[in-house]
Structure 1
Amino acid sequence: MELEGATIVLTGATTGIGRATAVALAQRTRRLIVHGPQSPTQVTDLMNQLRAGMRAGGGVVYLQADYGELEAVGRLTEGIRSATDRIDVLINNAARPGAPARTLSRDGIELTLQTNYLAPVALTTTLLELMPTGRIVNVASATHLSATLHLNDLELARHAYAPSTAYALSKLALVTYTCWLAKNLPNPSIEVVSMHPGVIATDLLHAMFSIGGDSVEYAAANLLEVASLSGDNGTYYDERVPAPPNPIAQDPETQTRLHQLTTNLLGRRA
């Protein structure tokens, strides 16, 4: 996928990996639509930086949406539709660390699952018709490799809750969804992949783990590399290298069951 001249939607673009990715994309793409939870007045510096880096004739749009409210995802979709009639690349990067204690969103859903999984699924589903061709990159995490997908308890209401457990489960759900979507895309010209961007020194990482990490620019370079590839579908990347995901994610029965549960959860809040 050629990023030069493309229209790209990037979620979670105001901090950490997303911000570094937005800055890198601004230097290459034609039209960039970035998302974050902050109000437009809170991202003035970022927007000025992105506009300064854009090529002549390029443009950048900022759209606000709090993934803790599914209605906000619907408003984000409408904002994207108003900004463009075509998307070449969708990068679902927005995420949060597991909350310190199990917390429900305004929709009554466990907050980590909603932010990291349900909201990106809802956004992707509503934007597919704007992608005659293109590539979807779902930013996951290597933590999914050791996670368990509790299909009878996705929201960890009955299993032991820990911030890292909730985070890893949400990312396993996202990788599993990616594998399912690759086989059920309405348009065969669209590709969807997931990736671990690296162990990156961000506030998100340090909220759950006391470890160091690489720079956000390193992660952004990995993300742009995976976004610019083509000819594969359903692949999981460990940084820039295709790698086996958690076997759970590749199980067709698990994929189908997760899709049903996801549809039910989103339908209840529609």
Structure 2
Amino acid sequence: MASTTTHPEFNDQTSALEVAKAFASGITGKTIIITGVNKNGIGFSTAEAFASQSPAHLILAGRNPSKIQECIEALKSSYPTVNYRPLNLDLSSQKSVRTAASELLYWSDIPTIDILINSAGVMNIPSRTLSEDGIELHFATNHIGHFLFTNLIMPKLIASATAAAAAGTKGATRVINVSSLSPTFASMRWSDVNFDKVNKTLPEAEQPNYDVHRQWGTVSPEDASYLPLEGYNQSKVANILFGIGLNSRVFEKHGILSVGLHPGIMQTELSRSTSKETIEAVGALFASGMFKFRSLDQGAATSLVAALDGGLRAGEGGGEGSGRENWGAYLVDCQINDRANPLAVSSAEAERLWGLSEELVGEKFAW
């Protein structure tokens, strides 16, 4: 039996606040952490929707303390009874991630984490850049940082899941990975995760979708090594594969469910590094009607569905005739989506990524 959602009427126009109200019992009294929260992004809209239904604790994590505080003050003005907690977290730095996780584990007044929304991200970094740990910056920030942080705070997620299972709500404890449309046309670049090699020299299955890059204003993408969009694409595919790998380890054993999603396209600070050529090319795609913007509140809605909908579950086999593994691993417009590239939702690819990720953080995780 495949996963399903309980509100088939939810769509690209649904607001996060609507979803929060529909699943209020899954929020009230819970502890929720969101990474990447600033006033002009979906992290804040996600936090706002959760805050509306009286969680016990709302932990806002980010690399800029003043921006986090700005968000907390804004949320307090609307929802003053929630306990807000800032957490300094720079996902591009494994040292920072370990420090943040240690701090969170030390908070004795917050013994459990019920929902983790891995929402932070960087996009279209103009030139190939390595993190302080020697990892391409999109991959380091969008995937490796979240992989490490999630695993390091696992004891508090397991504590929540144990209580949920005792109450008969297995799967209520969740790890949500905010991805993008990238999994519908991209896959992992296994032989060259740091973008050292010319694209056309890679194995065919690892070469970028050149048509997409041309649409985004890149001339001769075959002859390039690093493409800003491709750095982003790889990290966003990794978001989905990470959730699949996590489910295989913690869903049956502990009752923790991980779901990935595309939030839609919003006008946020995510595109601040995008080149003029790409902005012009993408503008033409919007003008043609290929893409359309949605509001930040609508952009946060699918994250809320992923975090709260009781109809979602972990499993393989796909829907009837789908030919897909890990049905329900990827949501778009508040519903399960089957348009992902098979390599972006493959259990074998997920296991390969888990091994690579452990290698890059120098630690193995077994739950």
Normalised to the residue count of structure 1, the TM-score between the two structures is: 0.91
Matching residue's letter, 1:246: N
Could you tell me whether the CA contact under 8 Å between 2:261 and 2:302 is conserved in 1?
Answer: no
Q: Choose which of 136, 141, 144 in structure 2 pairs with 1:115.
A: 141
Match of 1:242 among 301, 324, 336: 336
Residue 180 of structure 2 contacts residue 262 of structure 2 at CA under 8 Å; is this kept in 1?
Answer: yes
- Is 2:259 the counterpart of 1:178? no
Structure 1 residue 232 and structure 2 residue 313: aligned? yes
Q: Tell me how far apart the structure 1 counterparts of residues 68 and 179 of structure 2 sit (CA, whole Å).
A: 25
CA displacement at 1:154 relative to structure 2: 1.5
RMSD: 1.9
Given that 1:179 and 1:249 are in contact with CA atoms closer than 8 Å, whether structure 2 keeps it comes out as no
**Residue of 175, 197, 200 corresponding to 2:266:** 200
- Does residue 6 (structure 1) correspond to residue 72 (structure 2)? The answer is no
TM-score between both structures, scaled by the size of structure 2: 0.68
* CA distance in structure 1 between the aligned counterparts of 2:112 and 2:306, rounded to whole angstroms: 20
| More contact order relative to length (CA 8 Å, sep ≥ 6) | 2
Displacement of 1:203 after TM fit?
Answer: 2.4
Cα separation, partners in 2 of 1:45 and 1:177, compared to 1, 3 Å: closer
- 1:185 aligned counterpart, secondary structure: helix
Aligned residues: 266
CA deviation string 1:193-220 (max 9, x = no partner): 0000111222214644534511111112
Give the corresponding residue for 2:359: 264
Equivalent of 1:156, from 195, 208, 214? 195
Correspondence 1:136 to 2:162: no
Q: CA deviation at 1:42?
A: 4.3
Aligned amino acid, residue 302 of structure 2: N
Does structure 2 conserve the Cα–Cα contact (< 8 Å) formed by 1:77 and 1:127? yes
The reply on whether 1:167 has 2:232 as its aligned counterpart is yes
| Aligned match for 1:126, one of 152, 177, 197 | 152
Query: What's the offset of the Cα at 1:225?
Result: 2.4
2:131 maps to which residue? 105
Gaps of at least 5 residues in structure 1 are none
Q: CA deviation at 1:16?
A: 0.7
Question: AA paired with 2:307?
Answer: A
Which of 65, 69, 87 aligns to 1:63? It is 87
Find the counterpart in structure 2 of residue 37 from structure 1: 63
- Contact in 2 for aligned 1:26/1:51 (Cα 8 Å): no
The worse-fitting range, judged by mean Cα deviation, of 158-167 and 107-116 is 158-167
Paired residue for 1:253, among 348, 359, 363?
A: 348
Asked whether 1:82 is paired with 2:163, we answer no
**Deviation for aligned residue 1:55:** 5.5
1:118, distance to aligned residue in structure 2 (A): 0.3
**Identical positions, percent:** 27
* Corresponding residue for residue 71 of structure 2: 46
CA distance in 2, matches of 1:38, 1:114: 18
Greater C-alpha Rg = 2
Does the Cα contact within 8 Å between 2:188 and 2:238 map onto a contact in 1?
yes
Amino acid at match of 2:152: T
Match of 2:317 in 1: none
Q: Which moved more, 1:223-232 or 1:87-96?
A: 223-232
Counterpart AA for 1:179: I
Offset at residue 3 of structure 1 (A): 1.2
Q: Post-superposition, which runs of at least 4 consecutive aligned residues in structure 1 deviate over 6 A?
A: none
Query: SS at 1:102's partner residue?
Result: coil
What is the Cα deviation at residue 252 of structure 1? 3.0
Q: Cα–Cα, structure 1 residues 44 and 128, in superposed 2: closer, same or farther, change >3 Å?
A: closer
